[in-house]
Structure 1
Amino acid sequence: MACLPIAPPALALRRWLGHGLFVLLCLSLGYALEKKVVKSKLGEKVGLPCCHEIPSSESLHNYRVYWQTNTTEVVLAYAEGKEISKHKRYENRTEMDSRNFTLWISPVEILDNGPYQCVVQHKSSQNSFVLCDETVTLFVTADFSKPNITADVSTYSCESTEMVVSCSSHGGFPKPKISGTLNNVSVVWNISWVSESSFSPYNITGELRLNVTKDVSITCSVEYNGFAKSTSLLLKKTNNCIVPTVPPSYNVITASSIIIIIFLLAITLAARYLPRRVCSHCCKTQDSVEEGVKECTKTPLSSKVTSETSSV
């Protein structure tokens, strides 16, 4: 008996059904992974949920519970209702809920960041088996300080002011990034980080070189693990406009020097010769006046002769 080939519509339907199931599976996995992420801040108390809860008819004595990291380091372990193991790094910082096996950590440290695995085994009269095995990821954040913006003027002129703008923040985790705006327009910072290790607080600094032609507002934001802190600053253009003086040319200096020398010579000559000429003129005038007076006082000769003749 010959086999009939699958009709094209049926084949297409199967493909669409397969794709649909795959998409649903991915969405369900993504939702499950989203539920397995817990965020906490440094120093807080956080609870990591497990995958099983004891029914009210049973007790902790029938279960074995293991909380571990990286599948090798046991954080906390319970068997037959008693704590059988605890890592020294979590000493006096962890406890487990006896009903739903939630792992509580307080205070949270940056080193607590990472995946945690909860394994639950049920112990019956005959044997024991694994009820669930699930991983939850803890993201620890430490708040950064409020960004500090400083501006140093490097050069300025009447038209513009060149500034070096710095934005810095410290003491936060995880590794952050800096964003900002200049009059509501995005700018790109030159960023540098400082940290002792990948699980240590970070210090971050961003730098910009700006040519400011008018007063502008700049905003700096430090972003980390869904959190952000921002600061704004008004940058003012320098108003002290100093126009550089242009030195006079060589020809102007020479001409000015000659004029000054001639003026000084003229004053010197005038002071030296003008008084003499005035005095000599005065003397001549005085002599002529005296001579006229003398001539007027002389007795005329003809009158004298006439008188003498009459007396004879």
Structure 2
Amino acid sequence: MRWWLGLGLFVLLYLSLGYALETKVIRSKMGEKVGLPCCHEIPSFESLQNYRIYWQKGTTEVVLAYAKGKKISNNERYDNRTEMDTRNFTLWISPVEILDNGSYRCVVQELKPLQNSYVVCVKHVTFFVAADFSKPNVTAEEFANSCESTEMMVTCSSHGGFPKPKVSGALNSKPVVWNASHVSESSLSLYNVTAQLWLSMTEDISFTCSIEYNGFIQSTTLLLRKTNDCVVPAVPPPHNVIIASSIIIIMFLLALILAARYLPRHVGSHCCKPQDSVEEDVKECTKPPTSSKMTSETSSV
């Protein structure tokens, strides 16, 4: 019997430790309101005065603390931004700031009259804070162009986000490796990112830039067009071809000039006759024919 009782106590102790060490993960964005859960809820028949509650960040910084129903801590960084649910001890933070990112612990102690206080439970919470990056700005600058390809540099940039992002690119849905990338941190612990890629394009390509941070993603897609400025220079004809063409043109022009000068005179000499000759021809044509009968009579006389 004692063995079973000891085993039961060991199991209860193991489960309580496991519950105490269980870590809850909470995600939120900068500017939102978020609640960090604790591990105990006051029964309806009990009062907050019977408890002492500590909310800590890390191991030393006290965020909020209550004892016997009264607030006993004063952290300037959390003033006017935090409150605690007096039934289940949930810590509410609003608005969330980037510096709120980190590990938290809720410790609940019960105060018994005429007895020492004891720890009811401990809750660990990991709080991830994110700030939205701006939608990636994708630009393309052309450096060289030919009939075969277009050389350009593609730049993707985004700013004002948290935590430190992962920047990825894809050409027609196929991942690429950036030629250069830079991530900088601003005074508000926000990050700015810029990445560049050199391309030699032989056809139009769809390019996508993505910014991934704390489970969130921002992306932009741009269609990169190959410039079709393919102009083939005219090849001048050989020198002898130019000379031969010039001679042919000159001869053709001389022939036209000679034809224009002499052809009208030659045609006029055949078409026009003197007036006397015309009249004689008319007379000969108008003489009546002499019959054979008249000729015989004349010869008999």
Within 5 A, what are the aligned runs for 1:1-312?
32-33=22-23, 36-125=24-113, 126-189=115-178, 190-196=180-186, 200-243=189-232
Q: List, as ranges, runs of 4+ consecutive aligned residues in structure 1 with deviation greater than 2 Å.
A: 242-248
- Matched-pair contact (CA < 8 Å) for 1:157–1:242: no
Q: Which secondary structure state, in structure 1, belongs to the residue aligned with residue 73 of structure 2?
A: strand
Quote the sequence identity (%).
Answer: 66
Cα distance in 2 for partners of 1:247, 1:54 equals 98
Shift of 1:69: 1.1
Cα distance 1:182–1:70, how it changes in 2: closer, same or farther (>3 A)?
same
- Number of the residue aligned with 2:253: none
- Matched-pair contact (CA < 8 Å) for 2:22–2:123: no
- Matched-pair contact (CA < 8 Å) for 1:166–1:207: yes
- Matched-pair contact (CA < 8 Å) for 1:70–1:116: yes
Cα distance in 1 for partners of 2:236, 2:46 equals 101
TM-score by length of 1: 0.67
Shift of 1:130: 0.9
Amino acid at match of 1:92: N
Shift of 1:183: 1.1
- Matched-pair contact (CA < 8 Å) for 1:117–1:135: yes
Amino acid at match of 2:93: I
Listed as ranges, the gaps of 5+ residues in structure 1 are 1-24, 264-312
Amino acid at match of 2:173: N
Amino acid at match of 2:61: E
Q: Which secondary structure state, in structure 1, belongs to the residue aligned with residue 124 of structure 2?
A: strand
- Number of the residue aligned with 1:271: none
CA-based RMSD of the aligned residues comes to 2.4
TM-score by length of 2: 0.69
Cα distance 1:237–1:44, how it changes in 2: closer, same or farther (>3 A)?
same
How many aligned positions are there?
Answer: 224
Q: Which secondary structure state, in structure 1, belongs to the residue aligned with residue 230 of structure 2?
A: coil
Shift of 1:50: 0.6
- Matched-pair contact (CA < 8 Å) for 2:201–2:226: yes
